[in-house]
Structure 1
Amino acid sequence: MVKAAAQTARLTESVAFDVPVQVSGPGGVTSTTWEQRHACRAQFLYSTGSEVVEAARLEGRPIFKIRVRSCAAARSVTTDWQMRDTRRAAVYAIREVDGITDPAWVYVVVEGGKAP
């Protein structure tokens, strides 16, 4: 019980998950906009170690593992979506979503500096 409370206390960041929506404009031009589907508190975990992570860092692209509380909305997030850090106005492409490993948490791997 104390361990769960300590983990919850680390959810100090605020994030939102957006889904791409196709919008038809004048003249039949179709463009993609982003619509928010889920907002929650999160913990950013700095990724280390792999060659892919190190190569991305050398190119100036941050990669983070994000932990959010598990719920139906968090488990519906896919790699087609984007994540926004609402406190810093940063946008991240979602590279991986793990809603299976831990029933209490959903882990999302995100990469900054790339179009989602």
Structure 2
Amino acid sequence: MEAGRLNQRVTFQAHVLIETDMGGVIEGWEDRFTPWAHVRYLRGSEAVMQARLVSKAPVIITVRQSAQSVGITSEWRAVVGGVIFDLKEDPRPSEDGGFFEMLGEG
């Protein structure tokens, strides 16, 4: 992966529970960081075609390895241009080792 291909901003969000003054709990999403990323939409396989039938778009999101990106888990989500992608796996190192790749579904 070349750094020039990291052409989109992706906001990673973590699920949080916030306690209110009244003792209740509010669930929500909190922005963690917004790196440059490459988003590749998957096409062609049988699983991808099935996902499209239920209006889901599987993607591979690639980000540079950093102290922040090491903390990404499959419990987070990614927001790309207003579209929310649930992360379906923990990030895995790319073949060249300088990036993380993760499967998302929006």
Scaled by the length of structure 2, the TM-score of the pair is 0.86
Separation in structure 2 between the aligned mates of residue 45 and residue 80 of structure 1, nearest angstrom: 20
Give the residue type in structure 2 aligned to 1:30. Answer: V
CA RMSD of aligned residues (A): 1.7
Query: Contact 2:5–2:38 (CA<8 Å) still a contact in 1?
Result: yes
Gap regions ≥5 residues in structure 2? none
Query: Contact 1:75–1:99 (CA<8 Å) still a contact in 2?
Result: no
Q: Which residue of 2 aligns with 1:73?
A: 68
Moved >4 Å (runs of 4+): none
Q: What percent of counterpart residues are identical? A: 26
* Cα deviation 1:23-67 (Å, max 9, x = unaligned): 123543212121111210111112134332221111111110011
Deviates more, 1:63-72 or 1:29-38: 29-38
2:45 to 26, 50, 53: 50
Deviates more, 1:11-20 or 1:24-33: 24-33
Q: Which residue of 2 aligns with 1:98?
A: 91
Q: CA deviation at 1:101?
A: 4.2
Q: Which residue of 1 aligns with 2:103?
A: 109
Aligned residues: 105
